[in-house]
Amino acid sequence: MGLSWCIGPPGSGKTAAAVAVARAAAVAGRRVRWVALPTQRAAVLRRLVADGPLLGVEVVSLQQLAYAVATAAGAAQPQIVGTARLALVAEALLERDGVLPTPGEAGLFAAAIAEAKRHGLGPADVARLAAGGSRDVAGVAGEIERWHDVFAAYERLKGAQLDYDDVRREARARSEATAAERLPALVGADVVVVDGLRELAPDDLAWLRRLAAGVDVWASAVLAPPAALLAHAVDVERLPPRPVEVATWRFPNTVAEVRGVLRALARDLAEGHDPRDLAVVAPSGAARALRALAPEFGVELSEEAPRALVDAPFGRLLADLLELPTHPTAGRLLAVPALAAVGRRALAEGLTGPEAAARLADQEGLGDAWRAWRTALTPSGDPLGWARQVVALAGDLAGGDDAERARAQEAALRRAQEAARLARAALATPATAAGGDVDDGGFRAWWLALLRSSTLRERPRPGVALLSAAQATGRRFRRAYVVGAVAGTYDAGEHEDYFVPEDARVPIDALLAARAAGGAGAAAGQALGGARVALPRRYRGLDPLVRDELRTRAGQVVLTHADGDRGGPLRPDAALLGAPHGDPPPEVPTSSALEARRGVAYVAGFDLADGGEASVEDLRRAQECAFRAWAAPLLDDDPRAPWPARARRALTRAPQLDADRRAELAAQAPALAPWLERYASDLERLRYGVRLGVPHGPSVRLDAVGREGDLVRVVRFTLPDEDPRAVARPDLRWAELWAVDLLRSRYPRQAARVELVAWPLGGEPVVLTPDGVDAGDWPRKRARVEGEVAAAWTRWRAGPPRPNPGHRCRSCPLVDVCRPTQTVAPRAPAVDPAGPGGRP
């Protein structure tokens, strides 16, 4: 019996030594429990049987080993799993403060409680920390007292239930109270092998030391444990580093980087490599790109990260339904077939919110359907009964695999039970009873938050492993690609702790030494120079251990980085790369049909049945080039436009111009600040961005409209380099002239008189119709515009908006999209994905 250590850098062969120990013990008829991370289980089993079948070895996580020991000792109690801890902490905060906390606040306290328990601290230790009055933590002493109160309430509320940390505590305590000769029966093994863990917590090290009194414990480590722990070891083996072939590839941008890695993977598979021998380590953004492009290259990726419940089709739909009554967006409306027409209108007009949804529903003749859905999706009566109805409704709409949907529905109802308990507790508080809260005690908001915190564990499909840096820990492949080796990608992402600042913590080495010397919990803190809390420091930046792991995950490692992305230049991570820059990637045969251009090359077509909706100005611009006029909305928000154009957009974006918006505009365009102040009262009386239209016809968006009695002023803000009188020239602009007759016909009493005003930004308003719109040649101008708009609308609806090549293409930003020099054969009209008359 005893504790043996194998110490060596990442990739030095510790797992191979562990396999030899486990196989030798199993062949001798001894029971073996191999402790590894859950993500390592399949890889460990594969290595164990590489030399032939093997019986007697069980691969478990450290938490599972603790469950087994606690169960064998008779200490098994109901478990707190998943989001139950978060819900209990929220209940403790509600009890302490009398107000239901937000999910984010409850998560902050839940994380602090979990860290304290993981290091053997309880509410009493936190109370001593608050009472210490240390200079380091005095600034947050009030919040530490609150942490203590919530911690104590959480422990009382959970009663006999055990959370993850309680299970480990019980396993340690039962191991200490069990005689050495009975430890094999308690552990369920004669040999315990611990391998693949980046680091062990001090209490876990102390537990392994205790188990070694009755079973053989073999553990691997990258960094040597404290000398006090090594002094009790029966054997210490130190392994030297093994050579690894490392290549560094440099790409011009992140898209080329992802495509280059997929091209290399396709080559590896074509050469006969087993997909299980290959891996890609990537941050979240690059992982999404890899998933999206992998089918193009014929590469199957196996993603092992647990999927969030709201990422599954059912969960995503359920979340949309819960948010539909209060935050209806086009996407959420489109998710409900009965409201799809409303969603298409909202998408086309760029509208969100309950008022806009109600108005659009009435216009589409779906007002009753909208109100019925909003009522059905608003909590009423028994929260759990309502939740079951919504879950059943989402299940009917989601479709898909029945077994997968059933698992998701079951998980959603469990989260509903936790949210219902919180809602009942919140409704019992005086603040909520007095009307201080809404939505049935916050049931819907908390149910949605718990759904977003839930995960669905699924068996990954076969293919090349797509891993995060944490999931790659303790695993080794024949060839691995580490994507995104730029500064900040693989840093620890640390931040100052809310309750215990970094200066009040202790180095992990000192904490391990104190625990190895026999200290535990607060006792270890007292042994560390009077520190009041034995929590380890967390700031590491790019941990050298992580860097060395990434560089040794395979016999051949390829590190890739890009010079830039859409956000700008990227700085290579020289510490990870081992050099300031990588080398150009080698030539790799392409496996992408798009890159190889096999068959008929793709040519963009203009297969809309017609141009869809259009404004009067779209129709005028379509006389020069219908395609550019159709795509004009995509160019309206160009951030590279001159500041006056951006200022005009900002001025007309919101319907009113109050003092706050004037200050905001003045900050965005300081040159306009005096003008905004000078004409503040006149500008406040206007309504901005007014949109008018006719059924089954074009629309017009006016910069601003003002009204005094039966006089309506139509205002066009002009730029400093524009002639204000061009607003009234039919050959240059149609919108305001066309709007005159529309206003007078639609509002004959309110708009008996209409006046056109051109107002230069920074200048004085210019009245273009001092004698009225019926004097002089104004009737002729309006009649001309009316006729041209009618003719242009007929042409617009008659066929697809096609390019009109000419000199104008030289300055057109869409020239690479429409490719006007190519001849595109006419195509059959296609169904518009946004619905009739909408834009794709």
pLDDT beyond 70 at 274? yes
- The sign of the dihedral angle between the CA atoms of 312, 315, 321, 323 is negative
C-alpha 491, offset from chain centre:
18
Give the pLDDT of residue 277: 93
CB atoms within 10 A of CB 555: 16
* Average of per-residue pLDDT across 312-338: 87
> Using an 8 Å Cβ cutoff, are 489 and 53 in contact?
no
With cut-offs at 50, 70 and 90, classify the pLDDT of residue 836.
Answer: very low
Q: How many CA atoms lie within 13 A of 309 on its CB side?
A: 26
* Interval 672-729: pLDDT, tens: 888 999 999 899 999 998 888 888 888 888 999 999 888 999 999 988 778 888 888 8
Q: Mean pLDDT over all residues of the chain?
A: 82
pLDDT beyond 80 at 128? no
Give the pLDDT of residue 835: 32
Give the pLDDT of residue 831: 31
Give the pLDDT of residue 451: 86
With cut-offs at 50, 70 and 90, classify the pLDDT of residue 4.
Answer: very high
Strands 216-221 and 2-7 come out as parallel
Give the pLDDT of residue 141: 62
C-alpha 250, offset from chain centre:
27
* Interval 253-273: pLDDT, tens: 999 999 999 999 999 999 999
The sheet carrying 32-35 orders its strands as 57-60, 32-35, 191-194, 216-221, 2-7, 235-238
The most confident of 185-189, 489-493, 810-814, 823-827, by mean pLDDT: 185-189
pLDDT beyond 60 at 602? no
Give the pLDDT of residue 20: 94
Residue 153's beta-bridge partner residues? none
Contacts (Cβ under 8 Å, ≥6 apart) of 42: none
Which is nearest to 760 in space by CA: 752, 771, 768, 772? 768
Contacts (Cβ under 8 Å, ≥6 apart) of 534: 119, 120, 121, 506, 511, 514, 519, 521, 522, 524, 525, 528
Q: By three-state DSSP, how is residue 350 classified?
A: coil
Give the Cα separation of 62 and 294 in Å (integer).
35
% of the chain residues with pLDDT over 90: 20
Give the pLDDT of residue 534: 67
Give the Cα separation of 649 and 658 in Å (integer).
16
Contacts (Cβ under 8 Å, ≥6 apart) of 621: 628, 629, 632
Give the pLDDT of residue 278: 95
With cut-offs at 50, 70 and 90, classify the pLDDT of residue 398.
Answer: confident
Contacts (Cβ under 8 Å, ≥6 apart) of 829: 607, 608, 609
Residues in the chain: 840
Give the pLDDT of residue 613: 75
* Interval 449-464: pLDDT, tens: 888 888 877 777 889 9
Give the Cα separation of 440 and 381 in Å (integer).
9
CB atoms within 10 A of CB 245: 10
* Interval 637-685: pLDDT, tens: 555 566 678 788 888 888 888 888 888 888 888 888 889 999 998 999 9
* Average of per-residue pLDDT across 742-759: 88
With cut-offs at 50, 70 and 90, classify the pLDDT of residue 28.
Answer: very high
72-74-75-81 Cα dihedral, nearest 10 degrees: 60
Give the pLDDT of residue 798: 78
Residue 707's beta-bridge partner residues? 712
* Interval 345-388: pLDDT, tens: 888 788 888 898 898 888 888 889 899 988 888 887 788 888 88
pLDDT beyond 80 at 220? yes
Which is nearest to 454 in space by CA: 421, 417, 415, 418? 415
Would you list the DSSP string of 482-540? E---BTTSSS------SSS-GGGSB-HHHHHHHHHTT--THHHHHTTTT-S---B----
